[in-house]
Amino acid sequence: MLVLGIDPGTAICGYGFVEQNGSRLHAHAYGAVTTPSKMPVEQRLLKIHTVLDELIQKYRPDAMGVEQLFFNRNVTTAIPVGQARGVVLLAAAKNNLVLIERTPLQVKQSVTGYGKATKEQVIYMVTKLLHLPEPPHPDDTADALAVAISAAHCMDTIAWRNRL
């Protein structure tokens, strides 16, 4: 089973493909789609969608995991993230992917065993679980891989297998 994890954002949109065979996890490809701040927002969103669509066509994942939108105080940040998230959801729908939405707490719990883990703890565990030679950069890429791991764990349950 191959899962694409996404950490949406307009400046940096992290992605990571994680394959699960039994209890073994393997990272296929990961990185980030970056857009310049001076680029018009509609062009930034188009670039994110185009690159994600190309990656989906190339790797043909079975499902896509996306972190649910969560913001505590800064609504200004939430709006561009929500726009990028919409483009990501469009790419999933366009390619008929099973969509798995996970809260930040669920992602951290799945990867580290603790729902309030720090960013550093998540990056460390992603690196260890996927046997990566070095921590993924930027942090958005590590977050996307964490989302993919969490989604793969979710899909590995009997309820998900029965749903599919």
Residues identified as active-site: 7, 67, 140
112 touches 128 (CB < 8 A): no
Token pair belonging to 68: 């649910």
Token couple for 124: 């460390």
Beta carbons within 10 angstroms of residue 161's beta carbon: 9
DSSP 96-155: T-EEEEE-HHHHHHHHHS-TT--HHHHHHHHHHHTT-SS--SSHHHHHHHHHHHHHHHHH
Q: Which of 133, 96, 99, 130 is nearest to 8 (CA)?
A: 99
